[in-house]
Chain A
């Protein structure tokens, strides 16, 4: 199918939608719920009702938010609707009409009050570095650097994925990359507010982060979180001409290709899960695979559902805040298919995917480990 997609506004696209149901067949949350209203075409219909002024309750509109914005629907849409843009616009319209699920307001309040989506003291953003035995005295916070590592809320605060940050700084240090982190000067990128339908609420965080990046004079910003990278590419990049915005796998693949990342042998069998915001939404498919191929002894078994057809982990689009049970059902389905490859470890490249898939594995595949690719590479570091 053609790569071109279109978004001409909600009114036009709700009319252009053919209601053919191609999207329904690939939607992970429809599979987890089963009602037409939870299919992408059902959500388009719901949006049409909302726009036409038909009374719909916020409970009914929750269907619009029971979506991980994974873009599997966009992949198959025959009328080539950019459904990611559609969902963001529809959620914004629902929020404007006070039809958004109430839980999302808490995320917005947390970001506004503390600078992070969890509502933790923002000064503790670099807490993970303090736990490291080998961290330098400056805890990787330098006045200027070539590369700025934007850690993101999940990696900074969630204990399950803090080792990703530790691993990435070790890898960059080993490759002698001149980098810095922002520590407490970093605030949420705004992605949770974007997908919550609050595009007018992340102006302040964008301004704050832009100021910090400019002060560090970085020419490259690296993210281990694909959602942060996507947000920066969509909302920040136009303000930072010439600044590269790379996912960790892209930077590390460059370092590996340049011979700056010597890796030891790892004799294990893994499968790779394409995170939606890195792969379908972000266009990065090769870099993680190049890195896995660079680890001597590592055997990769690809799942049948991979690359453009990769399965969602269930954790995107604020789903954990809206419907954690559905998020888990989606994660379990995905883990089942990944575990069916026979690999003992699921590798992914996203902190949110690590969190949701880990919980899914605890339930349905207890013997299967879930790791971020950065963690795996750090284990192979010479």
Chain B
């Protein structure tokens, strides 16, 4: 029992079934990888109603040196919000709404458990809009996205979430409630992408934009990846800057059809029944890639952006398809229906290497006989965020475990082209050296030691790889699993 917490009974639970729901995120991980090495099952869940209660809980946890893992939507897949040393999960979802728009300053204050969709929906009724949002905006919370890298739809035009923040209210690991700005000590920037390891965000103030007076969406298909890569790069540098540029390869389109959905630009398939495996693996059935570009803002700028598309290589698809693709921008997970499980790598990649990376993925897919689809966004003029996904089935535990190892092949391919993982959590800690320079990592660890000397906030994440994820143990194990996966796939394809 945890009698120390002075919370109403409906705000603390030790129910076993309830706790199991906080011991996972999007990616199901076999118990052999979790319970053998980590205590992913929290001892209790607390659900504070306000910042004062958050501070009370943290203060009491600090006095007991009890680990605290803050959690909002739990919609990442690297165990960013899953405990690895038990303790408390602090569910911040009760800190929701209280949306206060300052029209003159074009800023909004909002509680961290509000979803991006809810925030934008509310702002639009008041003549404003969020500047950018994650592609999981229906579930993802404002506080959660600040705690990750915060790049997504709209980042190309408006920058990362870090660029939009005005202030944060946080509870530090001591239980102290603080208002942070860009110039405070510590500055708010320390809490961006800190993944809840430095405290709990309890209010966010960020810049907004006027509700766009006009928007225009366009969809293009490409017969070769070089043209797709060139198109994405040229749009990312163009003026006026597009609101967002989305791209996907033939593998992504094939996965859409595998899942039972229409793939824009795909050659018409035979009526009735699922597409044959030969079609799903045949690049000839699909364009090499597709690109969706969206302009938003004042009508003149939107028109100017649209006029500039005439120079874009590729074939423009009908406007109704572009509109449909725009309406589906938050629904890429529909591909999972073709899985039934889906594994993925999410990387930052220099856009100059996009075509080469996608070609590399295609070669890897053919060589390994693993269907892989890639899609992503241009998030700065130079960088893209690329998700490479592949179907599997978590119900076949051994094969699924091997399939998890295959993520390393994709990460290594990304690294070969200058990429690095997007987000850390637990499962990307083996790649810390790809994510941060030694100097940067030293600085991050210094901040952690300064603010959280007892290491109670979301321990086991971000700063160092815990065993068995040390690179020296992880790399050979993941490589062996990956080999087992491709051997298994080859055998499966050969069998009738």
Contacts and interface: CB of A to CB of B under 8 A. Distances in A.
B261 interface: yes
B393 interface: yes
A241 B318 CA distance: 41
Contacts of B138: 22, 25-26, 76
A78 B330 contact: yes
9 contacts: A2-B261, A15-B395, A16-B340, A19-B28, A20-B333, A36-B21, A37-B17, A45-B20, A78-B332
Interface in B388-405: 393-395
B495 to A, nearest CB: 22
A39 B117 CA distance: 18
B119 to A, nearest CB: 11
Interface of A: 1-2, 4, 6, 11-12, 15-16, 18-22, 24-26, 34-37, 42, 45-46, 49, 56, 60, 76, 78-80, 304
Interface string B312-351: 0000000000000001101111101101111000000000
Interface in B22-44: 22, 24-26, 28
Given A2-B334, A37-B15, A60-B15, 4 more contacts: A24-B139, A25-B138, A34-B47, A78-B333
Contacts of A42: 21
A40 B328 CA distance: 21
A22 B117 CA distance: 10
Contacts of A19: 24-26, 28, 74
Contacts, number: 95
A304 B18 contact: no
Contacts of A25: 73, 115, 117-118, 138-139
A36 B139 CA distance: 13
Given A34-B47, A34-B94, A21 B20 contact: no
A37 B47 CA distance: 13
Contacts of A79: 333-334, 336-337
A197 B157 CA distance: 50
Given A1-B331, A6-B260, A304-B125, A36 B22 contact: yes
A34 B47 CA distance: 8
Residue of B73, B93, B327, B393 contacting most chain A CB atoms (<10 Å): B93
Query: What is the interface of chain B mostly: helix, strand, loop, or mixed?
Result: loop
Interface residues of B, number: 45
Contacts of A80: 334, 337
Contact of B18 (A12, A20, A35, A78): A35
A304 B125 CA distance: 9
Interface in B87-119: 91, 93-94, 115, 117-118
Given A6-B260, A36-B22, A78-B332, A22 B139 contact: yes
Given A15-B394, A36-B22, A20 B47 contact: no
Contacts of A304: 125
Given A15-B393, A78-B331, A20 B139 contact: yes
A19 B260 CA distance: 20
A80 B339 CA distance: 13
A-B CB proximity, top 9 nearest:
A21-B139, A78-B333, A15-B340, A36-B21, A22-B138, A78-B331, A16-B340, A21-B73, A18-B333
Contacts of B10: 34
Contact of B341 (A15, A36, A37, A45): A15
Contacts of A76: 138
Contacts of B18: 35-37
Interface string B205-216: 000000000000
Contacts of B395: 11, 15
